[in-house]
Amino acid sequence: MNFFCEPEENGGAMMSRSEIHRRIEDLYGRIDDENEKKEELMSELARIERAISRFRSLICDMEAMLK
């Protein structure tokens, strides 16, 4: 098996290099998933902010009509 020579090189854990690479790839996949969620939330937030802006504009127009 392709283990590190010294456990200290791997934070004290003995595991193969292929296992380390698999875990790293898994973490990158999870980071990508979280980034996609973040982008979706940012897009939704922008949509909501535009809707709020439109409603504010409508309220200002309605207040102007009432004066």
What pLDDT score was predicted for residue 18?
84
What pLDDT score was predicted for residue 1?
45
Reported as a single tens digit per residue, the pLDDT across 18-64 is 888 899 999 999 999 999 999 999 999 999 999 999 999 999 999 99
Higher-pLDDT residue of 37 and 17 is 37
Could you tell me the two tokens for 22?
């698999």
What pLDDT score was predicted for residue 16?
78
Give the 3-state secondary structure of the chain: CCECCCHHHHCCCCCEHHHHHHHHHHHHHHHHHHHHHHHHHHHHHHHHHHHHHHHHHHHHHHHHHHC
How far are the Cα atoms of 12, 31, 44, 59 from residue 9, in angstroms, in the given order?
7, 25, 44, 64
